[in-house]
Structure 1
Amino acid sequence: MGNELYRKVVDMMNLKFNIEGKLEELNGESIYRYSPVFMCMYDGKKAIIKKTKENEEKAMELFKWEEELRNKGVECVSPIKAINGEFITCVAEEERWVLYPYIEGKRFDGSIKHIRNAGRLLGKIHKAGENKRFFKSGFKFETFDDEFIEEVNDDIKIIKERYKDIISSEVLEEFEKWIKAAIASNYNNVGDRDFPMVDCSWDYKGNNLVYSEEGIPTLIDPDNGGVVPRIIDLALALILFNNEMETAPSRMFSKEEWTVFKDGYYEYTQLNKVEKDAWNDLLKFVFIDEGLWAIVDLETDESERQKEFIKNLIEFNVGDFEL
C-alpha cells in the first residue's frame, strides 16, 4: 500500500508542477515510522513528500508562516514552489501532500550544545510570531467535563495494569493521585488567564529537528502548526522533546538540560508574570493532555529506548522544572 500511495502522489505532483519527470520517486518505503514520509528527487536534488494539513486554506496559512520564518532568518523548512511561485499540494487517499526540500544534517544527539540551540530556535520562532498572525485557528482550552474525566480514568487504569510488574505500586498510586488532584483543581482555572499567543509548530521536539555541522537546528516538520499560547508550546517541548527520538536520552530533560534549553529560549523570548505564575498548573495540564496520551499510545513493538522514555514520563515531577 505504501508503494502504491507513493507512486500515486508522485504522479499527481508531477502533473501539478506541470514538468514531466521533474519529480522522481526513489525507495517507496516511508523513512519515518509514525507517518508516511517519502524520499524523492526534485530537479536533481533530494526532496521529501509528506502529509500536511487536510484543509487547503489551513495548509496555505502554514506555508506562508514557514516562508515568513525563513525570511526572518529563522531556520525552518518551507515547501518547494511551482515555477509561477505558487505553493503546490495534491490530495491522495483523502490526505493532502506537500513537497519539501530534504534538509541534510545530523539528528539531535542529546548534547548540551544541541539542547541549547534547540531552545534558541524555539525562542526565535516565538519571537517571530509576536506581532504577526498567519494561523486563524489553533489551541483551545477544552471543558474538563465528565467525559474527559472518564477518559483520563480509563487511561490511568490501562497504565497501572501495563506497568504493574516494572514500576512499583507506590509510584503508580502517586501518579494516579496527582493526576486526579490536578483535574479536580481545574488547574486553578488556567483557561481563564490571558496568555500571549504565537504562531508555532505545536510539536517542537528533537525528532523534528536536523542539525548542521555547526550544531544549528532547522525545524523540518512544522505541519501541525497553529496559534497557541507560547507558554503551552514551551511546556509541550519540555515534556515530549525526547519522545520518539532514538538518538536522544531515554528520559525527559534533566534539571540541568532544562536550564540550558530554557536559557537558550530566553535569549529571544521573555515570559511575562501571568505565564510564570501559571507554569506549574500548565505543566500539569499539558502533561495530562499530551503526555498521558503518549504513555497510553505506546505500541508493544516500540524500541526498548522508547519504552524507557515512556516509563520515565510516569515518574514526571512538576517541581523539577522551574522557569
Structure 2
Amino acid sequence: MDVFEYFDLKKDTKSIYKYAPVYKSIIDTEEVIIKRTKEQTDRLANLLTWQQTIKGSGIETILPIAFKKKFYHSIGTENWVVYPFIKGNKYQANEEQIHGAGELLGRIHATSDSVFEHGFSWENYDGEFYDEVAEDIQIISKCYPTEFNSHEGQKLFRAIALEASKRFSNLARQELPTSDCTWDFKASNLVYQTNKPVLIDTDNAGKVPRIFDLSLALLLFHTCEDSAPNRVFTPEEWELFLSGYKKHIQMTEIEKESWQSMLLLVYADEVLWAINDLDEDESDRQKDFIRNLVTFNAHQYTI
C-alpha cells in the first residue's frame, strides 16, 4: 500500500511543496496537509510531546490530527503525518512580521530544553566535513566568480577558511546554551494571521545550540519563499528580528563571544550546501537569493 491508497488520494495528486512530498486533501470535511515526517520512528513520540509542549505554552503551531486512530503512519519505509491546513497570509517582510517572527523564535527557545534526545552533534564536524567545505568553496568560486571575487565575497570565504583551519575548535569547547528548536525556522514554514506568525512545520526539530538555530534563521529565513525578498535580512531587518527574539531570550556572554564563529560554521554547514544544491529550474527569485548569499557580510550582523 502506498501513501495515495492509504490516505485515499488521487494518484495524480501533486505535492504543494517542491522539495518534499506534501499533499493538501480533505478528511471528514476538514482541509488537511499530509506530509512525510521523520524517518526514525522512535523520535516521533518526542516530536509530538514537543509540539504539545510549545502549543501548551501559548505558541501558535500545529498538532497532528489522528487518522485511523494514529498520529503517525508507517507506509513502506516512510512515516507520514496529517496536520490541519492553516489559513492565513504569506510573509511579506513588513516590520511587524519580521519582529513577530523573531519573537516567535525567542518564545520557542525559551519554552523547553528537555524533550529531544537527538539533535546537534560536534562529531559531525570531522575531517571529511572540512574536506567537503573546501570542495564546495572551489565549486562556488567557479560558478559565481563575480560574487566570489568581490570584496565581500573574498572577506567571507577567507574567514570561513581561517575558521575551518582551526576546525572551529573554540566553539566545541564552549558551554553554549541549547534548546529544543525547529532547526528549520524560515518564512516558508510560517503562516501569518493578522501579521502574527503561526508555525506550520516542526518536523525537523531537535536539540540544538540556540545560536546555531538563530544563525540559521538569519542566513536562510528568506530561502524558498516566493513572497520574500531575494536576499538575506538587511542589518536593519536583522535588528528588528533580534529585538523580538530578545524579548524572551537573554544572550549569554559566551554566546556573544561565539556568535561570529558560529555564524561562519552555520554558513559552512548549511549555506554552502544550499548554494551548490541550487537547481537550474529554480525561480529567478531563489537564484538571486542564493547569489546574494555568496557576498554575505557576517560582520554587519551582531547579537
TM-score of the alignment, normalized to the shorter chain, above 0.5? yes
1:159 aligned partner = 140
- Give 1:192 shift: 1.0
The answer to whether the 8 Å contact 2:156/2:298 transfers is no
Which residue, out of 284, 288, 298, partners 1:304?
A: 284
Distance 1:299 1:215, change over 3 A: same
Q: What aligned pairs does 1:243-262 form with structure 2 within 5 A after superposition?
A: 243-262=223-242
Q: State yes or no: 1:113 paired with 2:96.
A: yes
42-51 or 171-180: which moved more?
171-180
Q: State yes or no: 1:67 paired with 2:52.
A: yes
Q: Quick one: distance in 2 between partners of 1:79 and 1:52?
A: 11
Gaps of 5+ in 1: 12-23
The answer to whether the 8 Å contact 1:204/1:237 transfers is yes
The TM-score, its normalising length taken from structure 1, stands at 0.88
Q: State yes or no: 1:211 paired with 2:208.
A: no
Q: Quick one: distance in 1 between partners of 2:56 and 2:76?
A: 33
Q: What aligned pairs does 1:45-194 form with structure 2 within 5 A after superposition?
A: 45-81=30-66, 87-130=70-113, 133-142=114-123, 144-164=125-145, 166-167=146-147, 169-171=149-151, 172-187=153-168, 189-194=170-175
* Structure 1 residues 137-196: Cα deviation after superposition (integer angstroms, max 9, x where no partner): 1111236443222211211121111123x5363455444322211211333510111111
1:237 aligned partner = 217
SS of the residue corresponding to residue 142 of structure 1 reads: helix
248-257 or 271-280: which moved more?
271-280
RMSD: 2.0
1:42 aligned partner = 27
Gaps of 5+ in 2: none
The answer to whether the 8 Å contact 1:242/1:249 transfers is yes
1:10 aligned partner = 7
The TM-score, its normalising length taken from structure 2, stands at 0.94
Distance 1:98 1:197, change over 3 A: same
1:269 aligned partner = 249
What percentage of residue pairs aligned between the two structures are identical?
Answer: 38
Q: State yes or no: 1:195 paired with 2:176.
A: yes
Residue type of the partner of 2:118? S
**RCO higher in structure (CA 8 A, sep ≥6):** 2
User: How many residue pairs get matched?
Assistant: 302
Distance 1:28 1:5, change over 3 A: farther
